[in-house]
Amino acid sequence: MSSRFPIILVGLPGAGKTTVGRLLAKRLNVDFLDIDEKIEQDTGKTISKIFAENGEKHFRDLEVDTICALLNSKSVLSPGGGAVTNPAIRKIFKNYPVVWLKVSSTCAAGRVGIADSRPLLTGDPLAKLEKLYAERRPFYEEVSRWQVSTDGLAAEEVVDEIIRNFEEA
């Protein structure tokens, strides 16, 4: 397994970044850091509240600052699904092992359901996920060193695949 950290997991909401990230970190005996959770802890506000009060641009700026502060950590990082839309983050990610957890819009919609905690998915989650996938796919492809499909796989199977990719690198 590569000793290069942090390992960064990217993908749509519902791809399994948090679930897989926690399991991967446990298997590697490192910390798991969810960027959205860290932002909420640091600001004392939910992501939904930050979006509502300050807008997406402000949130994306907080995201860059938080990611940069954690780049020296021996950890698995899970940024929000839209982090890759930011050119500054894409530039940073090129220097780290990034795994794109690919998920179909249908599977992702089934996993996230209707959640107020996901401000970009309010209304029709499936339609919004399809739109997000179309917009973000080129960015996920640009930053990822590996791609692992999560459709139909248990989180443990996804972790096994990620570890296999690292061992073969």
Which parts are annotated binding residues for substrate?
36, 60, 81, 136
Q: Where are the alpha helices (DSSP H) in 71-119?
A: 87-93, 105-112
CA distance 135 to 132: 5
**DSSP state letter for 122:** -
Q: Binding site for Mg(2+): residue ranges?
A: 18
Q: Which two tokens stand for residue 129?
A: 């996920």
Question: Can you say which residues are annotated as belonging to the binding site for ATP?
Answer: 14-19, 118
Q: Which residues are annotated as a binding site?
A: 14-19, 36, 60, 81, 118, 136
C-alpha–C-alpha distance, residues 139 and 155, integer Å:
23
